[in-house]
Amino acid sequence: MDRWQGIQHVVVVGLGITGLSVVNYLQKYHPSVNVRVIDTRETPPGQEQLPAGVALHSGSWNVAWLLAADLIVANPGIALATPEIQQALAANIPVVGDIELFAWHVDKPVIAITGSNGKSTVTDLTGVMANAAGIATAVGGNIGVPALDLLAQPAELYVLELSSFQLETTSSLAVTAAAFLNLSEDHMDRYDGMAGYRQAKLRIFEHAQTAVVNADDTQTYPDAYSGRTVRFGLEQPAEFTTAQHDGKEVLLANGEVVLPTSDLSLVGRHNVANVLTVLALLDAAGVNYTNALPALKSYTGLTHRCQVVADNQGIKWVNDSKATNVASTLAALSGLTLNGTLYLLVGGVGKGADFTPLKPVLETLPLTLCCFGRDGDQFMPLHASAQRFDTMEAIIASIRPQLKVGDMVLLSPACASFDQFKNFMARGDVFAELAQRYA
């Protein structure tokens, strides 16, 4: 089936990294197609990299272009409910995303991952282990490299992180294995409610040979599915889970011991669940991960996501600067095991959030709460140990003389960063630099 038959005019809506990848893909693989770009921003990022001959309309919509198109490729940030997109759909003009174009083209196995939290770590680690197992694997999608750019790589396997936004415009992605990690409230400005958000994510299973679901979160289960289902979980029965063996907690895959969880460099119970998901996905894709276990044990996580940036003199420094909301910080704290004191760094721009859900969790931990940034005061009532500082540097300078073997210094701020930093990456980089300096 040639999906490109009859398609002569394509309009790409939204430039940036993804839009540019779509334009470059079309020029490379479908050079006879006329490509035009619409971006409502006055100076869209990537416009200087547009190939010669590709027309750009910026600063507003161009409905005439939309209605003259045979196909519209929309950036994930553009909601299908946008009136101009609805006008095109009413005129029976198909609207797809870059992942749908990838699905039309790809001829190798694909693993896909979605979820409210943890999907970047699962995607990255799946790629790391598959490559370590000897399978040439390309990783991208909603993380790192746009999916269409991956097609230029000599890959035997593709691993994609997919957001709900990307899945909205994807209908024919056939995957060897797909995982839906968890569901928590997010993007409610885009959806009518949780049901709509969940349905968007469930689209990942539409053409999946194996559905990997969270036994501890039944919202991840497909409503109707005829393929194979595999569960991961820490509490409810699952094929990929944990168990006690010879006095140690171990990872268990289909009843077989993989390795003790203490061998993992990753921090937090949520990351144990993430590892179980990775094992389930690789198993479903037929990847023998036995040779990749050294890579699993040494994996410290993605930058700024519960990443161990220093481990010296028995003191662990963990950068979780990506935790810009309460749910992310709760995930980092879940099931945390410590031999000493946890020095938790919180604060920044709270975005009107309610931080009180942290209080009962903080009360269970051997904790010193270090509050900083614009909204640091809002954290002070959450724990008796709370101390107020102006900056992260001031915190580290104060606590460094007290640190001892078994302690952990964790930056998991539950806030945005733009009061003191350009972005969460810059905040994490400063923390990592301080950790290296003082470790």
Alpha helices in 91-118 (DSSP H): 98-105
Judge whether 210 is annotated as a binding position: no
- Contact call for residues 437 and 368 (beta carbons, < 8 A): no
Q: Are 286 and 133 in contact (CB under 8 A)?
A: no
Q: How far apart are CA 72 and CA 96, in angstroms?
A: 6
Catalytic residue among 24, 75, 131, 142: 142
Does 118 count as an annotated binding residue?
A: yes
Distances (CA, A) of 414 to 307, 314, 411: 16, 26, 9
Q: Which of 220, 226, 171, 217 is nearest to 197 (CA)?
A: 220
Strands (E), 46-136: 55-58, 71-74, 95-96, 110-114
Instruction: Find tokens 């997109």 and name the residue.
Output: 85
Measure the CA angle with vertex 49, ends 47 and 54; round to 5°. Answer: 70
120 known member of a binding site: yes
What do you get for the CA distance between the two ends of the chain, in Å? 59
Told to judge if 187 belongs to the known catalytic residues of this protein, a careful annotator would answer yes
Q: Is 121 annotated as a binding residue?
A: yes
172 annotated ligand binder = no
Catalytic residue (one of 119, 270, 304, 322)? 119
Crossing angle of helices 424-438 and 392-399, rounded to 10°? 20
Q: Residues comprising the binding site for ATP?
A: 115-121
Q: Residues comprising the binding site?
A: 115-121
What positions carry a catalytic annotation?
119, 142, 187
